[in-house]
Amino acid sequence: MKKTVLLILVLTVALHVSLFALCVPILNYAEGWTTFYWDSHYLSYALYQYGVGEVVRQFFLQYFAHSIIGILMTMIVALLVAVLAMVIIRLFCKKTGWLYLSLVPSWLASMGLLALISPNGLTALTARFTPAGQQQTQYLEMSNMVRKQDWAGIIARCDEGGRVTNLLTQNFLNMALAEKGLLGQCLYDEPCIDIRSVYIDAIQNEDFAVLLSDIYYSMGHIAQSQRYAFELNEKKNDFSPRLLMRLVQTNIIYGQYAVAEKYIRWLEKTVYYKTWAMSQRRFLYHDDAVAKDAEYGVKRRCLITDNRFSGIKGLDDDLLHVARQTRGTVQCRTTLQYLGALYLLAHYNQQFVSLCDEFPEYQLTQQKYFADAYKKLKGGNRK
């Protein structure tokens, strides 16, 4: 009997892990949009507003900030169901073989839990096996990599699939290349259409908005990054940890410490973001700490000093100011990669040449596609 029970538990674990492992990118991504706050007021509000099902979903989804822990936490439910089923079966039947029937409710529990917490329901299981599903999975994987700043991972992921023609994928790839200082070297390795290959400014859904916030933050355009994060977070009722983290960052950069503290308090009520949130308190009301920080200090230098509406003179003019104000930093290199690419894709030829001449220390003309364009434009027609 002991061997039978052990085998049943092993089979329960095997199926559960197999099911959830197939859906890890989807669950990781979904966790960034909503999480569970350990707060009595939040629980009362969520239960009243959304019901028990949504609260249970958020509770389990929070653990998919780390895939292994998420799978383990949900697996506990399947194992408990299997054990309970075996106890009930044993009460009515003494034959050991009947215990295998407990696999049915345990497997149903695994599938039911997956259907509950996955935004795509059980269709998430087939996502990797259809063209549309594969494209969506690639997007989710790269979006998760952006959160981890895994630029090399994004580049490698794009290399796996051959030619990159999807604009969203190109946005991810070009962001990673810009961060690595390689955009001028690799810009036309993929078929670029226009500036949409660098950033898509048409908001079609939530995915576009969060991607734009990430791209603008990478560019050093803090105002636009904050704008998209704020608008989308309002739609999410402050439930998105990914967006709350971005708003903490941008408000610290702007010196809006009271606003940043509001978001920090929310994140401190979560399991996985509490430590990060508490670490951000050292920047509140301490400009010196912000200035000395490797990330925030440089990002604060990105803020455009003259009084203007964001983008009123064009994104390229804003980025040129960012590059000049961050000269001598890695951020300047990243911003120049974006700006040079945008000039070429928009056919702003004279501006591209002037950019290369103004920042000779960054050796833009040593990169393959920037070099070819510079040589052609410098000796020919710049219009």
pLDDT value for 10: 93
- Paired tokens of 256: 């809006």
Closest CA to 245 of 224, 215, 268: 268
Judged by average pLDDT, the poorest of 34-48, 137-151, 307-321 is: 307-321
What does the pLDDT average to over 180-201? 91
Rounded CA-CA distance 371/377 in Å is 10
Positive or negative, the Cα torsion across 245, 249, 237, 228?
negative
Rounded CA-CA distance 112/100 in Å is 19
77, containing H or E segment = helix 67-92
Q: Please tell me which residue, 163 or 339, carries the higher pLDDT value.
A: 339
Instruction: Name residues whose C-beta falls within 8 Å of residue 360's C-beta, 6 or more positions apart in sequence.
Output: none
Judged by average pLDDT, the poorest of 98-102, 178-182, 337-341 is: 98-102
Angle in degrees, CA 239, 243, 247, rounded to 5: 115
Rounded CA-CA distance 194/7 in Å is 58
- Paired tokens of 252: 């610290």
Most confident of 110-114, 116-120, 200-204, 278-282: 278-282
153-186 residue pLDDT tens: 999 988 886 778 788 889 999 999 999 999 999 9
User: What pTM did the predictor assign?
Assistant: 0.91
Rounded CA-CA distance 190/166 in Å is 10
Residue 353 in contact with residue 378, Cβ under 8 Å? yes
pLDDT value for 20: 92
241-273 residue pLDDT tens: 999 999 999 999 999 999 999 999 999 999 999
pLDDT value for 327: 96
pLDDT value for 248: 97
pLDDT value for 380: 59
Is residue 381 predicted with pLDDT exceeding 60? no
Is residue 94 predicted with pLDDT exceeding 80? no
Rounded CA-CA distance 142/153 in Å is 8
The number of beta carbons lying within 10 Å of the beta carbon of residue 154 is 26
Rounded CA-CA distance 383/143 in Å is 37
pLDDT value for 120: 73
Is residue 83 predicted with pLDDT exceeding 60? yes
What does the pLDDT average to over 131-148? 86
The number of beta carbons lying within 10 Å of the beta carbon of residue 155 is 19
Judged by average pLDDT, the poorest of 52-66, 99-113, 298-312 is: 298-312
Share of the chain above pLDDT 90, in %: 69
pLDDT value for 311: 67
Q: Where are the beta strands (DSSP E) in the chain?
A: none
pLDDT value for 292: 96
Instruction: Name residues whose C-beta falls within 8 Å of residue 284's C-beta, 6 or more positions apart in sequence.
Output: 252, 257, 260, 261, 264
Positive or negative, the Cα torsion across 28, 30, 34, 35?
negative
What does the pLDDT average to over 327-334? 96
Angle in degrees, CA 207, 210, 216, rounded to 5: 135
pLDDT value for 226: 95
Closest CA to 143 of 240, 19, 263, 71: 240
Start-to-end C-alpha separation, the chain = 84
pLDDT value for 154: 94
What does the pLDDT average to over 120-130? 71
- Token look-up 């506990």 returns 76
Is residue 151 predicted with pLDDT exceeding 80? yes
